[in-house]
C-alpha cells in the first residue's frame, strides 16, 4: 500500500501552512536555516519527550526541508507504516546486531542527497553517555554533522555549527556535547 496522494506538492503545501500556523500558535520558532548541503547527519538534542518529533517535523515542513529519521520497526506496521515512511521514517530493528552503521554509510554512498536525523541519546530517558552511531555514520560516509537542537526554555529549534568528524571520537564528542550545554529539553534531567 503506497499513499501517492502524500507525494503531491499540494499536500506538502498544506502541511507547510498547517505547520507554520501551529508553530506560531504554540510559540515555537526556527533559529537559522537548515544547512544547504546535499548530505549530512543531523543530530538533535536534548531528546526528552515524544513532543520532539512533531515539533521537529513542523519545523521541517515550515522550512520545506526534507529529512529522514530512524525509528523502531514497530512504528511502520499496519496502516501507519506508509505514512511514517512518507514522513521520512527508516525502520530499524534495534535489538539485532545488523551493522546499522555500515548500512547507513552504504545508503549515504548511494545517495546524491540525504539528511538523516538521529537523537544522540538513543532514548528519551536521561543518559550520561551518548550513543556514537551518528558519529560513526558521519565519519564513515565522510559527511559533516549538523548540530541541531530543540530548546524548550526558549521555544526554539535551530542549528549550531557544522562539525566534521576527525575519526577521533574521544576528542570530538566533548566538543560536540559542549554545544548543547545550555539547551533545555522538555523534561530536563
The stretch 50-74 carries a mean pLDDT of 90
Banded model confidence at residue 158, pLDDT cuts 50, 70, 90: very high
Strongest mean pLDDT among 45-49, 78-82, 138-142: 138-142
pLDDT of 73 higher than 90: no
Banded model confidence at residue 122, pLDDT cuts 50, 70, 90: low
Q: Is 173 helix (H, G, I), strand (E, B) or coil?
A: helix
Q: Cα-atom radius of gyration of the chain, to the nearest Å?
A: 16
Banded model confidence at residue 71, pLDDT cuts 50, 70, 90: confident
Neighbours of 42 (CB within 10 A): 23
Beta strands in the chain (DSSP E): 29-31, 39-45, 68-72, 89-92, 114-118, 145-151, 156-163
Banded model confidence at residue 68, pLDDT cuts 50, 70, 90: very high
C-beta pairs of 54-58 under 8 Å, 24+ apart in sequence: 55/23, 55/28, 55/150, 55/157, 56/117, 56/150, 56/157, 57/19, 57/87, 58/19, 58/22, 58/23, 58/28
For 105, the grid coordinates are 554509510
Cβ atoms of 155 and 135 within 8 Å: the answer is no
∠ Cα 167 171 176 (to 5°) = 90
Cβ atoms of 124 and 50 within 8 Å: the answer is yes
Cα separation, 108 vs 106, in Å, equals 5
pLDDT of 14 = 93
The stretch 73-87 carries a mean pLDDT of 89
Bigger pLDDT: 121 vs 99: 99
Averaged pLDDT score across all residues of the chain = 88
Banded model confidence at residue 110, pLDDT cuts 50, 70, 90: very high
Bigger pLDDT: 126 vs 58: 58
**Omega of the bond leading into 46 within 30 degrees of 0 (cis):** yes
pLDDT of 97 = 60
* Residue range 88-97, pLDDT digits in tens: 998 887 665 6
pLDDT of 5 = 54
Amino acid at each position: 500500500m503506497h499513499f501517492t496522494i502524500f507525494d503531491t506538492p499540494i499536500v506538502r503545501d498544506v502541511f507547510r501552512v498547517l505547520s507554520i500556523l501551529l508553530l506560531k500558535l504554540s510559540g515555537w520558532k526556527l533559529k537559522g536555516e537548515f544547512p544547504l548541503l546535499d548530505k549530512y547527519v543531523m543530530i538533535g538534542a536534548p531528546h526528552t519527550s515524544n513532543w520532539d518529533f512533531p515539533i521537529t517535523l513542523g519545523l521541517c515542513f515550515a522550512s520545506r526541508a526534507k529529512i529522514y529519521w530512524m525509528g523502531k520497526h514497530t512504528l511502520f506496521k499496519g496502516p501507519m507504516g506508509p505514512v511514517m515512511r512518507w514522513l521520512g521514517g527508516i525502520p530499524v530493528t534495534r535489538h539485532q546486531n545488523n551493522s546499522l552503521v555500515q548500512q547507513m554509510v552504504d545508503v549515504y554512498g548511494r545517495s546524491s542527497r540525504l539528511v538523516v536525523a538521529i537523537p544522540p541519546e538513543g532514548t528519551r530517558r536521561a543518559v550520561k553517555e551518548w550513543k556514537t552511531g551518528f558519529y560513526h555514520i558521519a565519519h564513515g560516509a565522510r559527511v559533516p554533522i549538523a548540530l541541531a537542537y530543540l530548546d524548550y526554555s526558549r521555544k526554539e529549534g535551530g542549528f549550531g555549527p557544522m562539525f566534521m568528524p576527525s575519526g577521533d571520537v574521544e576528542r570530538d564528542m566533548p566538543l560536540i556535547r559542549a554545544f548543547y550545554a545550555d539547551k533545555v529539553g522538555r523534561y530536563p534531567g
